[in-house]
Amino acid sequence: MIVDEEFLGRLRKIFDLNLYEAKVWAALLSRGVSTAGELSSISNVPRSRTYDILESLEKKGFIVMKLGKPIKFVALKPEEVIERVKRNLMRDAQEKAKRLDRLKREDVLEELNSLFSQGIKFVEPNDLSGSLRGRQNLYNHLDMMLRGAEKTVTIVTTEEGLNRKLEALKGTFEKCKKRGVKIRIAAPIDKNNIEIARELKKVAEVKSMENMRARFVIVDSSQILFMLLDDSKFHPNYDLGVWINTEFFASALEQMFELAWKEMKSIR
């Protein structure tokens, strides 16, 4: 059986399989029912590894072992596999979330905080900077910045970015508002995102920014997160940002933003 390497790569990524698991699963799908020896020959996976691979696939819910001799394995419909994988992921995520919640009440967290506190004493404020790759990492860091905000949050984003921020950060925005944090958001507003802007008005001041595309966030006039790429031209995995803790530059940038903010149109 010859299966395209790109297709195997997609199977591995989507279903979180290793290469041998992807090969054996694809081989079994092509036969419906088969023995370990046959699958080894078809998939070019060493026979010594095939039983372990089949056992792993069975535990993950991809296949079923048929009773009788010789032992055979039955492929399940791909739609059923997807549902099983989804349920397993959700269950695993819930269990991991519970473990992390328990960690907040254990001594381990105190020790970790102690290590961090000791280390941070030796760091100059302007040394707290770094680069972030991938949009999910950017949003994770942005969420952390917002959760620590005490006074102000200034966000400049694109049409697409406005939509993403409602989906990803609405809950965090609401918590900021309850703490009394002033949030301002500037972005190009048109018929495609006007409803998103109106929804965000519940937690922030929102104004339309015309004739400019930019992506940055300022928190408490001390931290800046710059997104370096045009989000309409690059895949989210290649998005790139720079985080800087610099009161001097952040304050200056916010003062320049104030001038532009006065000229922007409010959303109705």
Query: DSSP letters of 48-115?
Result: HHHHHHHHHHHHTTSEEEESSSS-EEEEPPHHHHHHHHHHHHHHHHHHHHHHHHHHTTSHHHHHHHHH
Kindly state the DSSP code that residue 17 receives in the 8-state scheme: -
* Among 80, 110, 136, residue at a domain's last position: 80
Q: How far apart are CA 246 and CA 60, in angstroms?
A: 48
Q: Residue 254: inside a domain, yes or no? A: yes
Angle at 62 between CA 57 and CA 65, to 5 degrees: 75
Q: Is 176 exposed, middle or buried (0-12, 13-18, 19+ CB in 10 A)?
A: buried
Residue 156, both tokens: 């400049």
Question: What's the domain count of the chain?
Answer: 2
> Do 53 and 162 belong to one domain?
no
Return per-residue pLDDT of the chain as tens, 268 residues: 556 788 888 889 888 899 999 999 999 999 899 999 999 999 999 999 999 999 999 988 899 888 778 889 999 899 998 998 888 888 888 888 888 888 777 777 777 777 666 655 555 555 567 889 999 999 999 999 999 999 999 999 999 999 998 888 999 999 999 999 999 999 999 888 999 999 999 999 999 998 788 999 999 999 999 999 999 899 998 999 999 988 888 999 999 999 999 889 888 7
Whether 110 is covered by a domain: the verdict is no
Residues 172 and 43 placed together within one structural domain of the fold: no
Q: Strands 205-208 and 182-187: what pairing?
A: parallel
Tell me: do 29 and 144 sit in the same domain.
no
67: CATH: 1.10.10.10
Domain that holds residue 19: 5-80
